[in-house]
C-alpha cells in the first residue's frame, strides 16, 4: 500500500535539516502501514509528538516517554489519546492492552533493550503488530566523518564511536542481530528492509553541523525554527527530495521492521 501524501515539506517546516531528512522518510514508511494498523496503538518513545502528528493523524495512539519536557510538548499538540511519563522497561499498562505498537528510532537509545522488548510484547495482544525503525550496524561505518578519516589513513572508527556516543546510540545492531533480539522477546519478524542510502547518510552527517544553531533556538525558545515559513530549509528541498524519493540499497544504516507478537 502506498500513500501520495508528502512528508518532506511538513518536516522541513518543523525541524532542522538532518532531522527533516530522516524523519520524512520514516513518516512515509509508517504512514504506508497506517490504514492497516489496528487500534489502540502504543508509541514507545513518543518524544515531542511531532512524528505522530505528521505521520499518523487521526489514529488512536497512546504515548510513553521518560522525558518530562518532551511529554509536556506532546500533550500540547493534542495528537495522543493519552500520554504517560514512563520507562519502556516498565510500561504502566495491562497485558494485551494494545492492538499495535510503534517505535520510531528509539530502540537504539534504550537500556535495557531486552527488558523493553519483552514489555512491548507483553502489552500487545497475541498476533498484535509491532513496527519499528532502528539504527543498524552500518551507521557508524558509513558516516562522512568516518569515510574521510579512513581516506586520510586515520582511524575513522573513532569518529563513528564518537558520533554514536553523541547520539546516545547504545544499540547499533545488524539486521540479523535486531531480528534475534525481537524473536527472543516474543516478537516474530514478518519483514524488514533498509532505508536511507549510504550517500544520503553522509549528507545526514554533514547537515548536523549546518543545523547546529537550531539547538540554541530549541533551548531558548522551545522551537527548532523561529519562523518556519521563512526557513532556509526550503532552499534545500529540491536536493532533499531526491534523497526522499531514492530507492534504498540492499543494506543500509537504518532498518524498518514489521513484527507480530507470537500467539
Q: Tens digits of per-residue pLDDT, 55-77?
A: 999 999 999 999 999 999 999 99
Q: What angle do CA 129, 102, 260 make, to 5 degrees?
A: 20
- Contact of 130 with 260, CB cutoff 8 Å: yes
Q: How confident is the model at residue 3 (pLDDT cuts 50, 70, 90)?
A: very low
Q: What is the mean pLDDT of residues 232-261?
A: 92
**109 pLDDT exceeds 80?**
yes
Q: Is the bond preceding residue 152 a cis peptide, omega within 30 degrees?
A: no
Q: What is the mean pLDDT of residues 184-206?
A: 95
**Domain definitions of the chain by residue range:** 8-261
Q: How confident is the model at residue 103 (pLDDT cuts 50, 70, 90)?
A: very high
Q: How confident is the model at residue 204 (pLDDT cuts 50, 70, 90)?
A: very high
Cβ neighbours of residue 176 closer than 8 Å, sequence gap 6 or more = none
- Contact of 62 with 37, CB cutoff 8 Å: no
Comparing CA positions, the residue from 258, 190, 193, 197 lying closest to residue 34 is 258
Q: Where are the beta strands (DSSP E) in the chain?
A: 41-44, 61-65, 82-85, 98-104, 124-135, 187-195, 254-261
**CATH of segment(s) 8-261:** 3.40.50.150
Q: DSSP letters of 162-227?
A: HHHHHTT----B-HHHHHHHHHHTTEEEEEEEEES-HHHHHHHHHHHHHTTHHHHHHHHHS-S-SS
- Contact of 201 with 253, CB cutoff 8 Å: yes
Q: How far apart are CA 119 and CA 148, in angstroms?
A: 41
Q: How confident is the model at residue 177 (pLDDT cuts 50, 70, 90)?
A: very high
Angle between helices 144-151 and 198-210 (to 10 degrees): 100
**23 pLDDT exceeds 50?**
yes
Residue 233's region, left for phi above 0, alpha for psi from -120 to 50, else beta, is alpha
Q: What is the mean pLDDT of residues 138-153?
A: 97
**1 pLDDT exceeds 50?**
no
Q: What share of the chain is helix, strand, coil (3-state, %, to 5)?
A: 50, 20, 30
CA distances from 155 to 141, 159, 169, 206 (A): 11, 8, 20, 18
Residue 67's region, left for phi above 0, alpha for psi from -120 to 50, else beta, is beta
Q: Reduced to 3 states, what is the DSSP secondary structure of residue 97?
A: coil
The pLDDT mean for the chain works out to: 94
**4 pLDDT exceeds 80?**
no
- Contact of 134 with 173, CB cutoff 8 Å: yes
Q: Helices then strands (H, E): number in the chain?
A: 12, 7
Q: How confident is the model at residue 224 (pLDDT cuts 50, 70, 90)?
A: confident
Q: In the numeric block, which cell numbers belong to residue 210? A: 549546518
Amino acid at each position: 500500500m502506498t500513500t501520495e501524501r508528502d512528508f518532506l515539506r511538513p518536516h522541513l517546516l518543523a525541524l532542522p535539516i538532518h532531522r527533516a531528512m530522516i524523519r520524512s522518510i520514516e513518516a512515509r514508511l509508517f504512514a504506508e502501514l497506517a490504514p492497516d494498523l489496528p487500534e489502540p496503538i502504543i508509541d514507545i518513545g513518543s518524544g515531542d509528538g511531532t512524528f505522530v502528528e505528521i505521520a499518523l493523524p487521526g489514529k488512536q495512539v497512546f504515548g510513553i516517554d521518560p522525558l518530562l519536557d518532551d511529554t509536556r510538548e506532546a500533550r500540547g499538540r493534542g495528537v495522543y489519546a493519552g500520554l504517560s511519563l514512563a520507562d519502556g522497561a516498565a510500561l504502566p499498562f495491562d497485558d494485551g492492552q494494545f492492538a499495535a505498537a510503534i517505535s520510531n528510532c528509539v530502540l537504539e537509545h534504550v537500556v535495557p533493550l531486552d527488558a523493553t522488548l519483552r514489555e512491548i510484547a507483553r502489552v500487545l495482544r497475541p498476533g498484535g503488530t509491532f513496527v519499528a525503525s532502528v539504527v543498524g550496524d552500518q551507521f557508524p561505518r558509513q558516516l562522512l566523518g568516518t569515510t574521510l578519516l579512513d581516506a586520510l589513513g586515520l582511524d575513522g572508527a573513532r569518529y563513528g564511536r564518537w558520533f554514536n556516543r553523541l547520539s546516545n546510540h547504545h544499540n547499533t545492531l545488524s539486521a540479523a542481530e535486531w531480528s534475534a533480539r525481537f524473536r527472543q522477546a516474543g516478537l516474530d519478524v514478518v519483514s524488514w528492509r533498509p532505508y536511507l542510502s549510504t550517500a544520503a547518510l553522509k549528507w545526514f552527517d554533514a547537515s548536523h553541523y549546518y543545523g547546529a544553531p537550531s539547538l540554541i533556538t530549541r533551548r531558548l525558545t522551545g522551537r527548532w525554527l523561529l519562523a518556519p515559513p521563512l526557513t532556509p530549509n526550503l532552499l534545500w528541498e529540491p536536493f532533499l527530495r531526491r534523497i526522499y524519493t531514492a530507492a534504498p540499497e540492499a543494506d543500509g544504516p537504518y532498518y524498518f521492521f514489521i513484527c507480530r507478537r507470537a500467539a
